[in-house]
Structure 1
Amino acid sequence: MISFAECPARERIALFFDAGSFHEWIPPVERLTSPHLAQLGVPSAFDDGVAIGRATLDGQTVFVAAQEGEFMGGGVGEVHGAKLVGLLQRALRDTPAAVVVLAESGGVRLHEANAGLIAVSEVMRAVLDVRAAGIPVVFLIGGANGCFGGMGIVARCADFIVMSDVGRLAMSGPEVIEASHGVEEYDSRDRALVWRTSGGKHRWLIGDCDALVEDDVAAFRAAAIAAMKVSRPVTLEALEAEHALLAARLELLPLDTDGQDQATLLWHQLGVDKAERVPDLDVDDVRALRAA
């Protein structure tokens, strides 16, 4: 096994896609960096924290984006977002078998707040345009930084989400919640709490991800190959069904949980037997819980 979480972005690409097939667009040699970071005196990266390009996966041509969590937590700024949008718009022209995003991001880069927010909205629109054209958009989430903020929203706009048990997906990151509501509400240092409420096992059990895999590059690859065959049309009926699902989920949790752990309580309400044991189960056992 090769840990997906421990690999940097370009190593993931090299291990994940067919050997030697990745062709990068706007590589670091072109030195396209954020103008905002330079003005603030903040160190830049020559790829602005994301690698994009074309590769083959199981012999099929796909478009690729891999965020680098080691650079500003994979945060989205103006150039970073523009590269993602350009990739998706080119997919509309060239119609690859799929667009595969190896996501690792804390959300919008605070140094470029307004530009980053605009970029995320443009990425969301581009994802929906690609889906509407019948090209599957697949998100892989298993990096150490998780997939939070604007990129968490973008991921939920995709056709298919693959997560590992160590991956995390949410709108607000743990530190953001703690800063807004206090440590009594959410202790970001409580790793067990963080993974119960945003980790891959939780997202799988409540239906927010489509495949749960081990923290292994080969497992992610196999799941992505299967996901390329899944294209879910963007329709009013699908949107209404999603709203109904979210409304029903909200009804499952009482306003006052009387100090009980909310994730565990929700798993109980969803019919998970002995829900308190979920964090200690391996991936195969957790997958079986939802199948049951």
Structure 2
Amino acid sequence: MSLPLSFAECTARERVAALLDPGSFHEWLPPAERVMSPHLAVLGVPPAFDDGIVIGRGRLDGQPVFLAAQEGGFLGGGVGEVHGAKLAGLLQRAAAERPQAVLLLAESGGVRLHEANAGLIAVAEVMRALLDCRAAGVPVIVLIGGSNGCFGGMGLVAHCADHLLISELGRHAMSGPEVIEASHGVDEFDARDRALVWRTTGGKHRWLSGDCDALLDDDVAAFRTAAIERLGRSRPVTLAALEAEHALLAERLHLAPEADWPGDGSEPVAFWTALGVPEAARVPDLDAAALRPLRARTLEGAPQ
């Protein structure tokens, strides 16, 4: 029996090759085209020929899909002008051609500081294109399992998708630990405390709080199976769905008000306890299989 292929340890191209049907991937704007950022060289930063993102079309379980995979090894998967334009263009083409799904293998710290406003505009264009894609009935499935996590603007993009799949090793939030520490001090968030980082942004926390659709093992095959199950399953963006999500978030604030937090790094445990997770202190020691039955209440109709 072959050993699982770690999603976290793969490069973007290795993930694409292992996730899709063998030999089915056709890349758009590959490295040979040398479509690179025009901003990095003037700052003394070596560019990448694909600007840190792989885009194209392929087949998943025989079904046509579009796919984008961010390369966390290049500037932390940061979004710049070209990187964002490639992703937005993929989503726009998907809205027109309507494949069975768009798969976004997200691994990013957010906008590149090197490109500032160009990166911010790019993220806004990606969000608009993603919502247009969903409005056209094409489901967008985000897969998070890279070592850099999914933060900043890409954290927002991920939560705009139809489905979000995350592994135990994946992390997802709006702001990364280092950003929070830099903005509010180490007393607010110690980014060097890796256990705290995973308790507050890791896949286990996202699963227990109902912020993702599946908690997976660190295995490309597990991501492939979960993605196949969601092909063609779009979730229309409606006012009722947004109001239900806002109501759930408001309820959480009352469940675990900040004034009741212990302030000693165990806030996630207090939050899980408030959500009704049994023996919440044991959560960090549980694997994905043991944790899945402890799912907290989520939005009406969300898959369990």
> In which range does the TM-score fall when normalised by the shorter chain?
over 0.9
Counterpart CA distance in 2 for 1:230 and 1:286 is 25
Decide which of 24, 34, 57 is 2:37's aligned counterpart.
34
Q: 1:270: which partner in 2?
A: 275
Written as runs of structure 1 = structure 2, the 5 A alignment for 1:57-76 is 57-76=60-79
Counterpart CA distance in 2 for 1:268 and 1:8 is 37
Written as runs of structure 1 = structure 2, the 5 A alignment for 1:8-87 is 8-87=11-90
Written as runs of structure 1 = structure 2, the 5 A alignment for 1:54-133 is 54-133=57-136
TM-score after normalising by structure 1? 0.98
Counterpart CA distance in 2 for 1:231 and 1:258 is 40
Alpha-carbon displacement from aligned partner over 1:164-217 (angstroms, at most 9, x marks no partner): 000000001111111111111111111110000000000000011000100000
Secondary structure at 1:42's aligned position in 2? coil
Decide which of 170, 184, 187 is 1:181's aligned counterpart.
184
The one-letter code sitting in structure 2 at the alignment partner of 1:8 is T
Counterpart CA distance in 2 for 1:273 and 1:93 is 46
Counterpart CA distance in 2 for 1:267 and 1:56 is 39
1:228 aligned onto 2:231: yes
1:244 aligned onto 2:250: no
Q: How many residues align?
A: 292
Written as runs of structure 1 = structure 2, the 5 A alignment for 1:116-195 is 116-195=119-198
Which runs of 5 or more residues in structure 1 are unaligned?
none
Residue 92 of structure 1 and its aligned partner are, at CA, apart by 1.3
Counterpart CA distance in 2 for 1:63 and 1:263 is 36
Aligned identity (percent) is 71
Q: 1:280: which partner in 2?
A: 285
Alpha-carbon displacement from aligned partner over 1:144-163 (angstroms, at most 9, x marks no partner): 00000000000000000000
Counterpart CA distance in 2 for 1:158 and 1:227 is 12
Counterpart CA distance in 2 for 1:58 and 1:202 is 30
Secondary structure at 2:295's aligned position in 1? helix
Secondary structure at 1:110's aligned position in 2? coil
Residue 291 of structure 1 and its aligned partner are, at CA, apart by 6.9
The structure 1 segments of at least 4 consecutive aligned residues displaced by more than 4 Å after TM superposition are none
Decide which of 259, 263, 266 is 2:263's aligned counterpart.
259
Counterpart CA distance in 2 for 1:231 and 1:211 is 16
Counterpart CA distance in 2 for 1:41 and 1:78 is 17
Counterpart CA distance in 1 for 2:115 and 2:284 is 37
Counterpart CA distance in 1 for 2:26 and 2:252 is 43
Secondary structure at 2:40's aligned position in 1? helix
Is the 8 Å Cα contact of residues 111 and 152 (structure 2) preserved in structure 1?
yes
Counterpart CA distance in 1 for 2:44 and 2:193 is 33
The one-letter code sitting in structure 2 at the alignment partner of 1:281 is L
Which runs of 5 or more residues in structure 2 are unaligned?
298-304
Counterpart CA distance in 1 for 2:258 and 2:57 is 48
The one-letter code sitting in structure 2 at the alignment partner of 1:98 is A
TM-score after normalising by structure 2? 0.94
Alpha-carbon displacement from aligned partner over 1:74-98 (angstroms, at most 9, x marks no partner): 0000000000010000001111000
Q: In 2 relative to 1, CA 290–230 (structure 1 residues): closer, same or farther, beyond 3 Å?
A: same
Q: CA RMSD in A?
A: 1.0
Residue 249 of structure 1 and its aligned partner are, at CA, apart by 1.2
